[in-house]
Amino acid sequence: MQFTKLRLSGFKSFVDQTELLIEPGMTGVVGPNGCGKSNLLEALRWAMGETSAKRMRGEDMDDVIFGGTATRPARNICEVTMVLGNNARTAPPPFTDAEELEITRRLERGSGSDYRINGKLVRARDVQILFADHSSGANSPSMVSQGRVGALINAKPGDRRQLLEEAAGISGLHARRHEAELR
Ligand code: ATP
Ligand code: MG
């Protein structure tokens, strides 16, 4: 699947609805300090099912909702949608034949998140497994946050194994086994 669009509304500094097209050849996002570059990467991680407020640079998950400025009031809802092209038809059922997958996470202050794929309410776990099966996701090594390279070099062998499992494409199987064991 190819990541083609990111749509944000009320997320961190992106208070107004914003759409970012991810076109072939795009290699970077540039802009002055504080303009929201890291917030964009965090929006991606968040839509993929990030569960840690700390990794979103907040204390509480509600901190990802636009908190207001001197001129604009705070919001109570935020929403991030990732659009994925499904030309190769590798999306999981029941979405296998869809042209595109729209994965949306929405958060209302004090009420937690809900997730949708093409408008259908799904569990956070479904979204996390979908990305794990495609060697991606909120904790994937394909998302390199600041300090991550140094942390990997110094990581214990067991932790470094996660990187190899991603490369081998078996992290989705792990996530599913973990879920089966919980049942
Ligand atoms: P740098 O080049 O310094 O890394 P950046 O482009 O990565 O900067 P970000 O860290 O993405 O910038 O954006 C920081 C801005 O986002 C700050 O101005 C901060 O106030 C704003 N911000 C973060 N969370 C919220 C929120 N919940 N509500 C409103 N603004 C927010
Ligand atoms: Mg930054």
Q: What is the pLDDT of residues 5-60, one digit of tens each?
A: 999 999 999 999 999 999 999 888 999 999 999 999 999 999 999 999 998 999 99
Please tell me the pTM assigned to this model.
0.86
- The pLDDT tens digits for 55-101 are 899 999 999 999 999 999 999 999 999 999 999 999 999 999 999 99
| Residue from 38, 59, 145 whose mutation best tests the ligand 1 pocket (most atoms within 8 A of CB) | 38
> How far, in Å, from the CA of 118 to the mean position of ligand 2?
30
DSSP state of 75: P
Closest of 124, 126, 152, 150 to residue 140, by C-alpha: 152
Q: Which residues contact 72 (CB under 8 A, 6 or more apart)?
A: 15, 66
**What is the predicted pLDDT for the residue at 133?**
84
Identify the structural domains of the chain with CATH numbers, from first to last: 2-182 (3.40.50.300)
- Alpha helices, H only, the chain: 37-47, 124-133, 148-153, 157-168, 171-182
Which amino acid is it at 175? A
> How far, in Å, from the CA of 148 to the mean position of ligand 2?
14
**What is the predicted pLDDT for the residue at 164?**
77
Q: What are phi and psi of 14, to 5 degrees?
A: -90, 70
